[in-house]
C-alpha cells in the first residue's frame, strides 16, 4: 500500500500557519509507537492513544516549535499535544529496547495503520529539530520520528509487542510476558 497524503500546513512571515513548512505530505502506511509506563500519552485497546493535552491549538509556528521541542526533549513540565511514532519497525524496536534497558521497565511497541488516522496534523521531528544541534544519541532517538497531534483511534492499532525487562507494559495490560505479541485478526 502506498503512503497516504495529509493536508499540509504552512508558514507566513506573520508566523502563522499558511505555507508549506513542517507538516509532511505523506506518512508511511504503518508507523510504530513506543509506549512507556511513564508516557504522558494514554493508551488502551478500547480508546487508542490520547495525548495529555487535547486543547492547545497550534495556530502559530512559535507554538508548534515550543510544544514540539518540549515534547521531543521529554519535558514533563509541559503537557504535550503530541504522540510520537516511528516510520521504521527495526528502529522502533531498537529504541524500545534502549528505553526498556535504561529505565528497567517493559515497554509496549504498537504497530499503527495510518489509513485509520484522522486528517492531520502530523509533523516530522526532523523538521522541528532542524535548527537545533543534536548529539549522536539525540539524532538516533529522533531518527524517523513523527508527531501525531491529539489522538490515534483504536481502529488504527494493528499489533502490540511487549519489549523489555520490567513488569507490566504501561498500557494497562500487565499480565503479558516479555516479548509477547498480539495482533488484530484480519489486519495486514
pLDDT, tens digit (0-9, with 9 covering 90-100), for 48-63:
999 898 888 887 788 7
Q: ∠ at Cα 185 (180, 187), nearest 5°?
A: 100
Q: How far apart are CA 68 and CA 18, in angstroms?
A: 18
The predicted pLDDT at position 5 comes to 42
The predicted pLDDT at position 177 comes to 44
User: Does residue 157 lie within any of the structural domains?
Assistant: yes
pTM of the model: 0.74
The predicted pLDDT at position 60 comes to 75
User: Does residue 30 lie within any of the structural domains?
Assistant: yes
The predicted pLDDT at position 118 comes to 78
Domains: count for the chain? 1
User: Does residue 35 lie within any of the structural domains?
Assistant: yes
DSSP conformation class of 185: T
- Identify the CATH number of the domain in which residue 119 sits: 3.90.210
The predicted pLDDT at position 13 comes to 31
Q: How far apart are CA 170 and CA 65, in angstroms?
A: 28
User: Does residue 174 lie within any of the structural domains?
Assistant: no
Residues of the domain holding 41: 4-165
The predicted pLDDT at position 76 comes to 67
Query: pLDDT (tens digit, 0 to 9) for every residue of the chain, 188 residues total?
Result: 444 444 333 333 333 333 344 455 688 999 999 999 988 899 988 899 998 988 888 877 887 778 777 777 776 677 888 899 999 999 999 999 999 999 999 999 999 999 999 776 888 888 888 888 889 998 999 999 999 999 999 999 999 999 986 644 444 443 344 455 555 544 54
User: Does residue 175 lie within any of the structural domains?
Assistant: no
- Contact by Cβ (8 Å): 74, 40: no
Amino acid at each position: 500500500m502506498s503512503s497516504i497524503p495529509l493536508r499540509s500546513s504552512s508558514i507566513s512571515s506573520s508566523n502563522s500557519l499558511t505555507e508549506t513548512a513542517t507538516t509532511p505530505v505523506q506518512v508511511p502506511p504503518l508507523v510504530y509507537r513506543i509506549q512507556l509506563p511513564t508516557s504522558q500519552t494514554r493508551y488502551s485497546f478500547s480508546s487508542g492513544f490520547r495525548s495529555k493535552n487535547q486543547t492547545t491549538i497550534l495556530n502559530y509556528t512559535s507554538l508548534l516549535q515550543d510544544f514540539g521541542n518540549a515534547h521531543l526533549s521529554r519535558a514533563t513540565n509541559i503537557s504535550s499535544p503530541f504522540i510520537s511514532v516511528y516510520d521504521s519497525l527495526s528502529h522502533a524496536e531498537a529504541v524500545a529496547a534502549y528505553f526498556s534497558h535504561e529505565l528497567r521497565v517493559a515497554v509496549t511497541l504498537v504497530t499503527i495503520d495510518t489509513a485509520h488516522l484522522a486528517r492531520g496534523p502530523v509533523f516530522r521531528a526532523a523538521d522541528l529539530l532542524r535548527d537545533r544541534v543534536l548529539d549522536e544519541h539525540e539524532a538516533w532517538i529522533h531518527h524517523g520520528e513523527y508527531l501525531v497531534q491529539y489522538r490515534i483511534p483504536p481502529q488504527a492499532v494493528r499489533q502490540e509487542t511487549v519489549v523489555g525487562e520490567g513488569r507490566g507494559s504501561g498500557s494497562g495490560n500487565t499480565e503479558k510476558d516479555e516479548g509477547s505479541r498480539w495482533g488484530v485478526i484480519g489486519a495486514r
